[in-house]
Amino acid sequence: MSELRLLALASPDEVTPGHDLVTMFLEALQRANDDLHTRDLVVVTSKIVAKAEGRVVSFDGTEEHKLALVEQESVRVLRRRGSLRITETPHGFINANAGVDLSNTAEHTAVLLPLDPDRSARRFRAEVARRTGVDVAVLVTDTFGRVWRQGVTDVALGAAGLRPLLDLRGTHDAHGRLLEATEVAIADEIAGAANLVLHKAAGTPFALVRGLDESFFGEGSVSENLVRRRRDDLFR
Amino acid sequence: MSELRLLALASPDEVTPGHDLVTMFLEALQRANDDLHTRDLVVVTSKIVAKAEGRVVSFDGTEEHKLALVEQESVRVLRRRGSLRITETPHGFINANAGVDLSNTAEHTAVLLPLDPDRSARRFRAEVARRTGVDVAVLVTDTFGRVWRQGVTDVALGAAGLRPLLDLRGTHDAHGRLLEATEVAIADEIAGAANLVLHKAAGTPFALVRGLDESFFGEGSVSENLVRRRRDDLFR
């Protein structure tokens, strides 16, 4: 029987540019009296990645400054309503306000998205492997809205060691017929699942996911596998 | 430390109209040598709900018939590309082909969406409580695409005993400032999480979710809490 477990890992660390997130993670794991297993997956929230990578800018607290930052972080604005902007970022993400983050940031600062979250995930993964000898997968996650449903969910911005899109095309159903349209965005489903155990206001920037199917692991990136290209987009 | 567990429950049953899904679920749970705990959440895939509720129609296998069914199940078609229709259903869901399902169905049939998945979830929940005395939450889930990201994820079509949207507005961050825009669509995050353990082609129509935060439980429905009204939609 397939069982999946998700565990939140808390840390007292304040993350500043240059902070060693792998040490922070391994210490959090140790405090939880746990250790790493092959095919564990580590979820790292995008905010601490951005802070550690120095993607922090000063922010004067005004609406004008916020909108200027959003503009600067966007390649395109799709919609405007009040102070909300639906934007396309240089990564190809479509989200609110280009991911410019004004909560849980140091006074007078804003946190931007990591420049290359796939690379951030790959580096975190390689460093975990170097320090522990264990091969884990890594997701860098953030909170996005959806077009046609209320509320936000966490999605993957970066991935390493995981196939973000699980291709079930060619799989047969219980009646022997081919399954339709079934490339499952498992990276986003894992990101959302992890958000169920994270209590961001309370300082839990990591989640450990254990029990994912072997077939989920492999090569891929959010940039290549999850970002929809403009030519395939029916609504841009 | 917050820990979440998800368990897939298999069943050999073929679901036909009138099938007793609660018995099917309780038998699946027994085969897994498990029993229900207060604040467990049961995920039921929309397809078996639809089949049990008789939402099955004959289908002659032609493209024309498929498009006619999609049209019939839609209140509006937002986009057309090839044989793909992006539709609005009477529930207010925006999805591909109005949820008309041609895989894992009996020969020459198509399965439609349940008419009122919130009601289906409430009935399942009430019947579980009546038969076991245990108060669980229930989600009815299905697979939807997304506008700006590749791949499908599972989302909640119906909910009972759960607050589908967790309102964190008014919550303070670690620096004492109010969190922004944080109504989290936990029902969709749970639906996606459950999909990670379900292997639909292999006959696992249920998942059991254990360890959800106490604050997640309460009143609400997908229809009221997750469906975005047209007036709030920037892209319809």
Q: Is residue A173 part of a domain?
A: yes
Q: Which of B150, B171, B226 sits opposite A201 (nearest CB)?
A: B171
CA B67 to chain centre: 24
pLDDT in tens, B172-220: 655 655 555 579 999 999 999 999 999 766 789 999 999 999 999 999 9
Ranges of chain A whose pLDDT falls below 70: 1, 169-181, 200-201
Q: How many domains does chain A have?
A: 2
Same domain, B146 and B70: no
pLDDT in tens, B113-128: 999 999 999 999 999 9
Q: What is the pLDDT of residue B79?
A: 93
Q: Contact B196/A181, CB-based, under 8 Å?
A: no
Same domain, A167 and A193: yes
List of residues 6+ apart from B133 with CB closer than 8 A: none
Q: What pTM does this model have?
A: 0.95
Sheet of B41-45: strand order equals: B153-160, B137-144, B41-45, B206-210, B3-9, A3-9, A206-210, A41-45, A137-145, A152-160, B183-184, B166-167
Question: Bigger pLDDT: B53 or B82?
Answer: B53
Q: Is residue B235 part of a domain?
A: no
Q: What is the pLDDT of residue A106?
A: 81
CATH of the domain at B132: 3.30.1330.100
Same domain, A106 and A188: no
Q: What is the pLDDT of residue A179?
A: 55
Q: What is the pLDDT of residue A187?
A: 98
Q: What is the pLDDT of residue B200?
A: 66
CATH of the domain at B82: 3.90.1660.10
List of residues 6+ apart from B233 with CB closer than 8 A: A147, A148
Q: What is the pLDDT of residue A234?
A: 82
Average pLDDT across chain B, whole number? 92
- Domain stops at, among A113, A132, A153: A113
Same domain, B28 and B120: yes
List of residues 6+ apart from A48 with CB closer than 8 A: A15, A19, A21, A24, A205
Same domain, A48 and A61: no
Distance from the A127 Cα atom to the nearest Cα atom in chain B, whole angstroms = 25
Nearest to A47 by CA among A95, A105, A8: A105
Q: Is residue B206 part of a domain?
A: yes
Q: What is the pLDDT of residue B103?
A: 80
Same domain, A108 and A124: no
Q: Is residue A233 part of a domain?
A: no
HSE value, Cβ hemisphere, 13 Å, CA-based, for A114: 27
Chain B's closest residue to A183, CA to CA, is: B151
A139 DSSP β-pair partners: A43, A159
* Residue B99 lies in domain: 56-113
Q: What is the pLDDT of residue A167?
A: 85
Q: What is the pLDDT of residue B163?
A: 97
Query: Which site among A40, A143, A150, A229 would you substitute to test the B interface, given the most B Cβ atoms closer than 10 Å to its Cβ?
Result: A150
Same domain, A174 and A62: no
Q: Is residue B97 part of a domain?
A: yes
Same domain, A220 and A104: no
Chain B's closest residue to A210, CA to CA, is: B5
Q: Is residue A236 part of a domain?
A: no
Q: Is residue B73 part of a domain?
A: yes
The CA distances from residue A226 to A222, B79, B150, in Å, are 5, 21, 5
Same domain, A159 and A209: yes
Q: Contact B103/A173, CB-based, under 8 Å?
A: yes
pLDDT in tens, B60-97: 999 999 999 999 999 999 999 888 999 999 999 999 99
Same domain, A19 and A109: no
User: Does any CB of chain A come closer than 8 Å to the CB of residue B150?
Assistant: yes
Run of H or E including A225: helix A222-225
